[in-house]
Amino acid sequence: MKIGSLEVGKIGLGAWQAGGGAWRVDFAELKRAYEYALDHGIKFIDTAEVYGSGKSEEFVAELIRNRPHVVVATKVAGSNWGRILKSAERSRRRIGRVDLLQFHWPPPIYVPLCKVIRDLEKAAQLGLTAEIGVSNFDARLMEKALTCTKKYEIVSDQVVYNPLHRAAERLIEMGRARGFVVIAWSPLAKGAVLKENLGNDPARRFDSVVNRAKTAEGRRVAETIRKIAETRGVSPAAVVLAWHAAKGSFPIPGVKTLKQAQEVLEANALQLSEAEVRAIDKASAPFITGTVWPSAMRYIPGFLLKLSFTLARI
């Protein structure tokens, strides 16, 4: 898969887990897991300035120091719409290199969207990033954002997408036609689509998608995935990530352990049959609803949204 000019492979990795606030992690094991993945076929890693207030970016900096083949993506906080260049400079200083600079969540309604996009373009012009992207933009907002560019293309939109939340499918189609890639966050539904016993990490507490796994429909999705995994002799995580590839999204799972990293990597060699993709699609059909980002959030002043994310320990 290519995101703009960047060759990124079939799956990437997300490094929110390394922020340390939202996820309970053993840092030595986490490092082992990410190093293993980047040395065994993963070419893309995603982070953000808000993850652990820069801790995740510092973790990524260490990981990529001797791995020039890895594409690095980070995100400017949506509440930093007035300080995009400053944020981009700070992230570049922390990480050492940024290949894809994304705007993390839609700005409040009173902020001119084209100013945000032009500031991302300025960051690219100044050499702070190779490519620009957005995150959590729904199809309507993306349509508008695409009209704002002057010199660069928006090459990606990073949104929630997994078998328990399929609202992004309209965006995937739009991306195919308009030349941007949908990067799928929470591609494993934070583990909820893989297993029953989940840790009570803060990241899961306010996530309604995690609760969908407990419904009859949700259990049917997990059961379908488990059966395919058993038949193929691979992990359920690999089946879900291979489903993403079949649907045309680029998944960036987070992992905590070496074993999870190894299971995620199995997806690189796995291609689901049309019948297997259809079976997961059918079981997860009740979840082709909702939106990738509630538009009401854009009416919340930026500082309040940032405060709520801070309290949720993002």
Ligand X SMILES: NC(=O)c1ccc[n+]([C@@H]2O[C@H](COP(=O)([O-])OP(=O)(O)OC[C@H]3O[C@@H](n4cnc5c(N)ncnc54)[C@H](OP(=O)(O)O)[C@@H]3O)[C@@H](O)[C@H]2O)c1
- The site for ligand X (CB under 6 A) is made up of 14-17, 23, 46, 104, 135-136, 158, 185-191, 194-195, 198-199, 201, 235, 237, 252-256, 260, 263-264
Task: Pick between residue 39 and residue 126 the one whose CB is nearest to ligand X.
Answer: 39
Minimum distance of ligand X from residue 89's CB (angstroms): 21
Residue among 187, 169, 179 at smallest CA distance from 248: 169
Shortest distance, position 291 Cβ to ligand X, whole Å: 14
In order of 109, 113, 164, 184, 309, the CA distances from 296 in angstroms are: 9, 16, 22, 22, 16
CA distance 282 to 300: 36
Residue with Cβ nearer ligand X (125 or 230): 230
69 neighbors 9 (Cβ within 8 angstroms)? no
End-to-end CA distance of the chain: 29
In whole angstroms, the minimum distance from the beta carbon of 238 to ligand X comes to 8
CA distance linking residue 173 with residue 162, whole number of Å:
16
Nearest-approach distance from CB 166 to ligand X, in angstroms: 14
Minimum Å gap between C-beta 19 and ligand X is: 9
Nearer to ligand X by C-beta: 104 or 306? 104
Q: Which residue is nearest to ligand X (CB)?
A: 14
Residue 152 or 250: the one with the smaller Cβ distance to ligand X is 250
Inter-residue contact 213 to 222 (CB < 8 Å): yes
Name the residue nearer to ligand X (CB basis): 235 or 249: 235
